[in-house]
Copies of this chain bind each other. A is one copy, B any other.
Amino acid sequence: MELLDALTTTRAIRRYAQEPIPEHDLNRILFAATRAPSGSNRQPCRFVVLRSESTAPSAVRARQILGEAFRSMWAAKEAGDGYRSGTGTDPASPKSRMAATMRHFVDHIEFAPAIIFPCYQRWREPDPSEGASIYPACQNLLLAARDLGYGGVMTVWHRPVETALRTALHMPDDVVIAATIPLGRPLGRHGTVRRRPLAEVVFEDRWKHTATWAADPPGTRVTAGRPA
Protein backbone atom coordinates (compact mmCIF):
# COMPACT_ATOMS: atom_id res chain seq x y z
CA MET A 1 0.00 0.00 0.00
CA GLU A 2 0.97 3.64 -0.26
CA LEU A 3 3.42 4.73 2.42
CA LEU A 4 1.70 7.95 3.53
CA ASP A 5 -1.68 6.18 3.71
CA ALA A 6 -0.16 3.52 5.93
CA LEU A 7 1.57 6.04 8.20
CA THR A 8 -1.59 8.06 8.75
CA THR A 9 -4.18 5.27 9.12
CA THR A 10 -2.46 2.38 10.93
CA ARG A 11 -4.09 1.95 14.30
CA ALA A 12 -4.08 -0.47 17.23
CA ILE A 13 -5.83 -3.77 16.40
CA ARG A 14 -6.79 -5.92 19.39
CA ARG A 15 -9.12 -8.61 17.95
CA TYR A 16 -7.67 -11.27 15.67
CA ALA A 17 -9.08 -14.06 13.51
CA GLN A 18 -7.91 -17.54 14.60
CA GLU A 19 -5.72 -17.96 11.55
CA PRO A 20 -1.98 -18.67 11.76
CA ILE A 21 0.44 -16.26 10.08
CA PRO A 22 2.38 -18.05 7.33
CA GLU A 23 6.16 -18.18 7.66
CA HIS A 24 6.59 -16.17 4.47
CA ASP A 25 4.65 -13.27 5.97
CA LEU A 26 6.47 -13.45 9.31
CA ASN A 27 9.71 -13.35 7.38
CA ARG A 28 8.71 -10.19 5.56
CA ILE A 29 7.41 -8.53 8.72
CA LEU A 30 10.57 -9.25 10.71
CA PHE A 31 12.82 -8.32 7.82
CA ALA A 32 11.14 -4.91 7.62
CA ALA A 33 11.41 -4.48 11.40
CA THR A 34 15.14 -5.14 11.36
CA ARG A 35 15.77 -2.53 8.61
CA ALA A 36 14.87 0.26 11.07
CA PRO A 37 17.74 2.43 12.26
CA SER A 38 19.60 2.16 15.57
CA GLY A 39 22.25 4.34 17.20
CA SER A 40 25.60 3.83 15.37
CA ASN A 41 23.87 0.91 13.58
CA ARG A 42 24.65 -1.09 16.70
CA GLN A 43 21.49 -3.18 16.19
CA PRO A 44 20.71 -4.08 19.79
CA CYS A 45 17.25 -5.47 18.88
CA ARG A 46 16.30 -9.10 19.05
CA PHE A 47 12.87 -10.59 18.41
CA VAL A 48 11.34 -13.64 20.04
CA VAL A 49 8.31 -14.86 18.11
CA LEU A 50 5.61 -17.12 19.55
CA ARG A 51 3.28 -18.62 16.97
CA SER A 52 -0.16 -19.94 17.93
CA GLU A 53 0.58 -23.33 16.38
CA SER A 54 3.68 -23.90 18.52
CA THR A 55 3.54 -26.48 21.31
CA ALA A 56 7.04 -25.70 22.62
CA PRO A 57 6.81 -25.64 26.44
CA SER A 58 8.62 -22.27 26.58
CA ALA A 59 6.08 -20.68 24.23
CA VAL A 60 3.07 -22.23 25.95
CA ARG A 61 4.34 -21.08 29.33
CA ALA A 62 5.09 -17.53 28.12
CA ARG A 63 1.60 -17.18 26.65
CA GLN A 64 0.08 -18.35 29.92
CA ILE A 65 2.12 -15.83 31.95
CA LEU A 66 1.13 -13.07 29.56
CA GLY A 67 -2.58 -13.93 29.74
CA GLU A 68 -2.64 -13.79 33.52
CA ALA A 69 -0.68 -10.54 33.57
CA PHE A 70 -2.82 -8.80 30.98
CA ARG A 71 -6.04 -9.77 32.77
CA SER A 72 -4.70 -8.41 36.07
CA MET A 73 -3.57 -5.19 34.38
CA TRP A 74 -6.94 -4.67 32.77
CA ALA A 75 -8.87 -5.46 35.97
CA ALA A 76 -6.85 -2.79 37.80
CA LYS A 77 -7.21 -0.27 34.99
CA GLU A 78 -10.92 -0.92 34.52
CA ALA A 79 -11.56 -0.26 38.19
CA GLY A 80 -9.09 2.60 38.58
CA ASP A 81 -9.91 4.54 35.41
CA GLY A 82 -13.67 4.58 35.94
CA TYR A 83 -14.62 2.30 33.05
CA ARG A 84 -17.66 1.14 35.03
CA SER A 85 -18.92 4.54 36.12
CA GLY A 86 -20.20 7.66 34.34
CA THR A 87 -20.72 6.99 30.63
CA GLY A 88 -19.18 3.55 31.26
CA THR A 89 -22.63 2.39 32.43
CA ASP A 90 -24.06 3.09 28.94
CA PRO A 91 -23.14 0.10 26.76
CA ALA A 92 -23.20 2.29 23.61
CA SER A 93 -20.70 4.85 24.94
CA PRO A 94 -17.13 5.00 23.56
CA LYS A 95 -15.89 4.17 27.05
CA SER A 96 -17.98 0.98 27.20
CA ARG A 97 -16.96 -0.04 23.72
CA MET A 98 -13.30 0.47 24.59
CA ALA A 99 -13.80 -1.60 27.74
CA ALA A 100 -15.42 -4.41 25.72
CA THR A 101 -12.49 -4.41 23.28
CA MET A 102 -9.99 -4.50 26.12
CA ARG A 103 -11.82 -7.34 27.86
CA HIS A 104 -11.80 -9.35 24.64
CA PHE A 105 -8.13 -8.51 24.15
CA VAL A 106 -6.97 -9.71 27.57
CA ASP A 107 -9.24 -12.77 27.50
CA HIS A 108 -7.79 -13.91 24.16
CA ILE A 109 -4.19 -12.73 24.26
CA GLU A 110 -2.88 -16.32 24.65
CA PHE A 111 -4.45 -17.21 21.32
CA ALA A 112 -3.14 -14.36 19.20
CA PRO A 113 -1.77 -15.86 15.95
CA ALA A 114 1.65 -14.41 16.74
CA ILE A 115 3.08 -12.73 19.80
CA ILE A 116 6.33 -10.91 19.25
CA PHE A 117 8.67 -9.75 21.99
CA PRO A 118 11.03 -7.09 20.68
CA CYS A 119 14.00 -7.26 23.04
CA TYR A 120 16.83 -4.90 23.76
CA GLN A 121 20.30 -6.27 24.35
CA ARG A 122 21.59 -3.72 26.82
CA TRP A 123 25.20 -2.60 26.50
CA ARG A 124 25.22 0.32 28.95
CA GLU A 125 23.22 1.58 31.95
CA PRO A 126 19.43 1.82 31.45
CA ASP A 127 18.53 5.13 29.82
CA PRO A 128 15.30 6.61 28.46
CA SER A 129 16.98 7.29 25.11
CA GLU A 130 17.78 3.62 24.51
CA GLY A 131 14.29 3.30 23.02
CA ALA A 132 15.58 5.23 20.00
CA SER A 133 17.29 2.00 18.96
CA ILE A 134 14.31 -0.32 19.37
CA TYR A 135 10.91 1.37 19.03
CA PRO A 136 11.50 2.49 15.42
CA ALA A 137 11.83 -1.23 14.61
CA CYS A 138 8.54 -1.91 16.43
CA GLN A 139 6.83 0.72 14.30
CA ASN A 140 8.33 -0.76 11.12
CA LEU A 141 7.01 -4.13 12.27
CA LEU A 142 3.47 -2.85 12.76
CA LEU A 143 3.52 -1.04 9.42
CA ALA A 144 4.83 -4.07 7.53
CA ALA A 145 2.14 -6.21 9.17
CA ARG A 146 -0.47 -3.72 7.98
CA ASP A 147 0.81 -3.98 4.43
CA LEU A 148 0.31 -7.74 4.52
CA GLY A 149 -3.22 -7.50 5.93
CA TYR A 150 -2.44 -7.97 9.62
CA GLY A 151 -2.93 -5.74 12.60
CA GLY A 152 -1.45 -5.52 16.05
CA VAL A 153 -0.72 -3.31 18.97
CA MET A 154 2.39 -2.45 20.95
CA THR A 155 2.00 -2.73 24.70
CA VAL A 156 4.25 -2.84 27.75
CA TRP A 157 1.76 -4.67 29.93
CA HIS A 158 4.21 -7.56 30.20
CA ARG A 159 6.40 -5.49 32.49
CA PRO A 160 5.08 -6.70 35.86
CA VAL A 161 5.90 -10.29 34.77
CA GLU A 162 9.04 -9.58 32.78
CA THR A 163 11.23 -11.67 35.06
CA ALA A 164 8.90 -14.67 34.79
CA LEU A 165 8.79 -14.28 31.01
CA ARG A 166 12.55 -14.03 30.83
CA THR A 167 12.84 -17.30 32.75
CA ALA A 168 10.23 -19.03 30.59
CA LEU A 169 11.98 -17.88 27.41
CA HIS A 170 15.52 -18.73 28.66
CA MET A 171 16.62 -15.12 28.31
CA PRO A 172 19.77 -13.75 29.97
CA ASP A 173 19.42 -10.96 32.52
CA ASP A 174 20.92 -8.24 30.31
CA VAL A 175 18.14 -8.59 27.78
CA VAL A 176 15.12 -6.36 28.27
CA ILE A 177 11.73 -7.25 26.86
CA ALA A 178 10.96 -3.83 25.40
CA ALA A 179 7.40 -4.53 24.25
CA THR A 180 4.77 -7.16 23.54
CA ILE A 181 3.22 -7.08 20.08
CA PRO A 182 0.39 -9.51 19.26
CA LEU A 183 -0.44 -9.79 15.56
CA GLY A 184 -3.22 -11.33 13.48
CA ARG A 185 -5.82 -10.72 10.82
CA PRO A 186 -8.11 -8.01 12.20
CA LEU A 187 -11.64 -9.01 13.21
CA GLY A 188 -14.22 -6.32 12.64
CA ARG A 189 -13.57 -2.96 11.05
CA HIS A 190 -10.70 -0.55 11.59
CA GLY A 191 -11.68 2.69 13.24
CA THR A 192 -10.09 6.07 12.62
CA VAL A 193 -6.81 7.25 14.09
CA ARG A 194 -7.64 10.16 16.40
CA ARG A 195 -5.05 12.53 17.71
CA ARG A 196 -4.73 15.96 19.26
CA PRO A 197 -4.99 18.85 16.80
CA LEU A 198 -1.63 19.31 15.07
CA ALA A 199 -1.35 22.90 16.26
CA GLU A 200 -1.27 21.68 19.87
CA VAL A 201 1.79 19.54 19.37
CA VAL A 202 3.88 21.13 16.60
CA PHE A 203 5.80 24.31 17.35
CA GLU A 204 8.20 26.46 15.37
CA ASP A 205 11.35 28.28 16.56
CA ARG A 206 10.58 27.71 20.24
CA TRP A 207 8.34 25.91 22.71
CA LYS A 208 4.61 26.65 22.37
CA HIS A 209 5.16 28.98 19.41
CA THR A 210 2.55 27.81 16.93
CA ALA A 211 3.69 26.85 13.45
CA THR A 212 1.28 28.55 11.04
CA TRP A 213 1.50 25.58 8.70
CA ALA A 214 0.64 23.03 11.42
CA ALA A 215 -3.03 22.51 10.61
CA ASP A 216 -4.91 19.24 10.28
CA PRO A 217 -6.19 18.30 6.82
CA PRO A 218 -9.96 18.84 6.47
CA GLY A 219 -11.98 16.00 7.99
CA THR A 220 -9.31 14.93 10.49
CA ARG A 221 -10.86 13.50 13.65
CA VAL A 222 -9.29 14.77 16.82
CA THR A 223 -9.20 13.72 20.43
CA ALA A 224 -7.78 15.40 23.47
CA GLY A 225 -6.15 12.21 24.63
CA ARG A 226 -5.32 12.06 28.29
CA PRO A 227 -3.57 14.88 30.05
CA ALA A 228 0.12 14.46 29.26
Check if A138 sits within 8 Å of B132, measured CB to CB.
yes
State whether the Cβ of A99 lies closer than 8 Å to any Cβ in chain B. Answer: no
A41 closest partner in B (C-beta) = B225
Whether B213 and A140, one on each chain, are in contact in the complex, defined by CB atoms closer than 8 angstroms, is no
CB under 8 Å from chain B, chain A span 7-50: 7-12, 23-24, 26-28, 30-32, 34-37, 39-50
A175 to B8, CA, bound (A): 25
Map CB proximity to B onto A121-139 as digits: 1 under 8 Å, 0 otherwise: 1010011111110111011
Q: Which of B51, B147, B209, B211 contacts A4 (CB 8 A)?
A: B147
> Min CB distance, A151 to chain B, in Å?
12
Taking a contact as CB atoms under 8 Å apart, the answer to whether B4 and A213 are in contact is no
Shortest C-beta distance, A14 to chain B (Å), equals 12
B37, A12: Cβ atoms closer than 8 Å: yes
Contact B35 A228 (CB under 8 A): no
* A77 to chain B: closest residue by CB: B40
CB distance from A139 to the nearest CB of B (A): 4
Contact A143–B43 (Cβ < 8 Å) = no
Q: Contact between A132 and B147 (Cβ–Cβ < 8 Å)?
A: no
With a CB–CB cut-off of 8 A, which chain B residues contact A112?
A: none
The 6 closest A-B pairs by CB, nearest first: A131-B131, A23-B213, A135-B135, A136-B139, A56-B205, A58-B206
